[in-house]
Chain A
């Protein structure tokens, strides 16, 4: 039993990272219907910014997290302006290929500047394990930090989207871009906001992962980026609570597969789930069945 509890804890901590990344994916898709493949790389850049801040400038956890989020949100806005905006009226496949190009540009650009060497984060969070219910199952303090930060950011996001003017504009643009422009919504500004928020979330995930796993490298974003994409699709791409659910679901599933002895098949299972969801319920578990407008 205690091993089961431990595995669930392992799964939730892995899942909270997927969830945080999937939020950004799903937001961008919801607004401009673009699968932003560079999202994983923004997460990587966020991890490096956090590394630089904590290692060279001796920042604490929260200042480093917040500054890293601000810088990655700027990076997200710049990427949108430079790479995606000129492609907005071209075919979706062209935009998708641009996204892949941006992703590779960031990977190899970073490799050029910071070398492909793996780096390890300094210990800025206390290294404490808490035993659960007096059993052998342990939770790391950093696990609790990650989970808390994920939940707080998710609630903040819900607030921004549902209670603020910017959020209303985002939802309007997501529903119908042209009509919202006719209503006086500045579409460019709204899309910039979306990228800023989505990238800030990826940046936060990057810093958290750096601290939790203690290892970062320029290619670290590729696989988690794909996993976050799967998480977003499971929950219904474009649906924010769906992304969070998808992230946790994927994290727990992967851990359970490993626990059952299939540690080498966990990626295969993750992608199999993606295929199944696309076949059976393409709009995801939380997605509503909208008919494509003609």
Chain B
């Protein structure tokens, strides 16, 4: 019996060797006529709305680029995979895109947590990974302050959003007492909270209440009642739409009528379904893009998008679209579709013109670009102002 088992095991080992070889030989060919780019996105799970919007935007951009002759005379081939909004799965997808699909660059994922999950294989194999929406400060820089060679982002950082909203609350709204309700398990939420507190207290404001919740909760009435007891003039809820929608609804029901501030996590049509139009007044958030922007490129993009999808693009569509062009621009400047050359070209990006603003990549692989503040009026986002860096 034992013999049979060992023979069987040997057979499996031999088989796995053969399989391994064949996939290796598969890697060598195929990338001659197309440039492969991997999309590692949240197509299902709790932030699926971000992931699908971003990948739609990217695919739209790539389609346009291919129609206009591609880059370096080659067509771009998109390999899209779903990381199910799970950071461990995001790592698997990265590994697979690099070692199996042989992509030259990975675009994605959408959230900071998943991007941190996805980046170790990219660093290890030396393939650039660019996220258009991972706003955490420590995505491109590791905990020792060392810049990650192959990781880039094309959106501003959480700390920047927190500072912007603190200034907005104190200077534009003229409010001095703020309460905060933070998603305690999210790097994104805590990142905005910390920089908001630092800036707001520096300006002379006071934090009167700090409460926390966890992802996927549905009942926030207890913490909101605590916040109501502290009588804040403004409430900061730096979270994602799924909980934020419910929080705003329940806050308004409890009679908390003060302005509510947040970040780019508010950008989803779902927030309107969750909170209802009545609750979504006096809500302000920082974002990457506004459809109310009247610049020529934005209008052209909106029209092209409406023609293709039959609706208005959201910020994530615009960011995905920019990311597609950002990638193509880097390949063009690299002169060769090799991961190292593309990385060098990305690091040297200066004044890349996109829908979400002109951006240059700084020494920490973060972009220098403008931030937009939007106001929700009966659930409809209205363009309020654009702050240049």
Contacts and interface: CB of A to CB of B under 8 A. Distances in A.
B246 A10 contact: no
A6 B254 contact: yes
Contact of B225 (A3, A127, A254, A264): A3
B255 A215 contact: no
B138 to A, nearest CB: 22
Nearest to A224: B218
A246 B216 CA distance: 24
Interface stretch (A114-122, A158-166, A269-277): A114-122
A263 B223 contact: yes
A116 B51 CA distance: 14
B226 A261 contact: yes
A116 B225 contact: no
B226 A258 contact: yes
A136 interface: yes
A7 B218 contact: no
Contacts of B218: 209, 213, 215, 220
Given A118-B242, A138-B254, A263 B213 contact: yes
Contacts of A94: none
Contacts of A259: 222, 225-226
Interface stretch (B26-34, B273-281, B332-340, B365-373): B273-281
A207 to B, nearest CB: 15
B270 interface: yes
Contact of B276 (A13, A123, A140, A217): A123
**Category for how many chain B residues contact A:** 20 to 34
A239 B212 CA distance: 36
A138 B212 CA distance: 22
A116 B45 contact: yes
A169 interface: no
Contacts, number: 83
Interface string B199-224: 00000000000011110101101110
Contacts of B223: 258, 263
A3 B228 contact: yes
A6 B214 contact: no
B171 interface: no
A255 B229 CA distance: 15
Q: Which residue of B45, B212, B219 has the most chain A CB atoms within 10 A of its CB atom?
A: B219
Contacts of A7: 222, 225
B291 to A, nearest CB: 23
Interface string A1-34: 0010011001101100000000000000000000
B225 A6 contact: yes
Given A120-B273, A264-B212, A127 B278 contact: yes
Nearest to B85: A116
A6 B256 CA distance: 13
Contacts of B255: 129, 136, 138
A185 B325 CA distance: 74
B141 interface: no
A214 interface: yes
Interface string A228-264: 0000000000000000000000000011001101011
B249 interface: yes
Interface in A95-129: 115-118, 120, 123, 127, 129
Interface string A119-152: 0100100010100000010101000000000000
Nearest to B48: A117
A215 B44 contact: no
A127 B252 CA distance: 11
A13 B222 CA distance: 11
A90 B44 CA distance: 39
A215 B249 CA distance: 12
21 contacts: A3-B228, A6-B225, A10-B221, A13-B221, A116-B45, A118-B270, A120-B270, A127-B253, A129-B255, A136-B255, A213-B218, A215-B218, A215-B274, A220-B218, A254-B222, A261-B211, A263-B212, A263-B222, A264-B184, A264-B213, A264-B214
Interface of A: 3, 6-7, 10-11, 13-14, 115-118, 120, 123, 127, 129, 136, 138, 140, 209, 213-215, 217, 220, 223, 254-255, 258-259, 261, 263-264
Interface of B: 44-46, 48, 84, 184, 211-214, 216, 218-219, 221-223, 225-226, 228-229, 242, 245-246, 249, 253-255, 270, 273-274, 276, 278
Given A14-B221, A138-B253, 8 more contacts: A7-B225, A13-B221, A115-B44, A138-B255, A140-B253, A214-B249, A217-B46, A223-B216
